[in-house]
Every structure is written in C-alpha cells, then in structure tokens.
Amino acid sequence: MSKFKAVIFDLDGTLLDTIEDLADSMNAVLVDAGYPVHDLQSYKYFVGNGMEKLAFNVLPTEHRDEDTIKACVQKMKNEYAKRWNVKTRPYEGIPELLDALEDMGMDMAVLSNKPDNFTRIIIKE
C-alpha cells in the first residue's frame, strides 16, 4: 500500500503536450495584429507563466503596454477555444499512468495556471 493518498499534476507540459496548439493560437493573434510570429521552439521558452506573461513575451517590445497585453490575452483565449485540441496529445505513457493510479484508488487532481474553463474542458476529454 502506498503512503500517498493523492497525486496533483500540472497539465501543460506534464500530462499533455499542448505547445503546438498554444503556439498556433498565439501566432494567429499576432498575424491578425500585424506583428511577427514566432517558431515553435521559441514558444517552449515563452509559456509556463500564464497567458499575460505569454502575451508579454511574444509581443514586440514597443507594444508591451497593459492595454495591448490585455487585448492580446482576450484574442488568444478566443483563438485557443477554436483549436485547443487540434494537436494537443498526452505524453507517451500518461494514459497508462493515470489508469494505474486510478486502479490503485489514488485520488488525482490537476493544478494549472491555464484559464479554468479550458482546464475543465481538457480534463473531461
């Protein structure tokens, strides 16, 4: 019997490889605003601290004011709602791990800085 009763996972980059859908969504926002886009590799350094920080990181330096960041975040949420599950996949072995933990009677939870509505939808899938 395990001495642990529960496991808490992060979502993006731990359970799921979401980087391509995040990058595609934000790049769509940037294109729409007339800003340069970034390659997938760059997004690996841009993500991880919430959408506001992501917007700050991808915007050109001269456009990192509060209003532009807020607008970018809102547009990103709209874009991500359209494509959050196009390329997102669990990492290898994750479904089996979750099944094994469930079979052990382990309680599981997800803690994420992703907006709550997206997190709940993704977990249901």
Whether residue 65 lies in the annotated active site: no
Dihedral sign computed on CA atoms, order 125, 50, 66, 41:
negative
| Options 10, 99, 103, 107, the catalytic residue | 10
Catalytic residue numbers, as ranges: 10
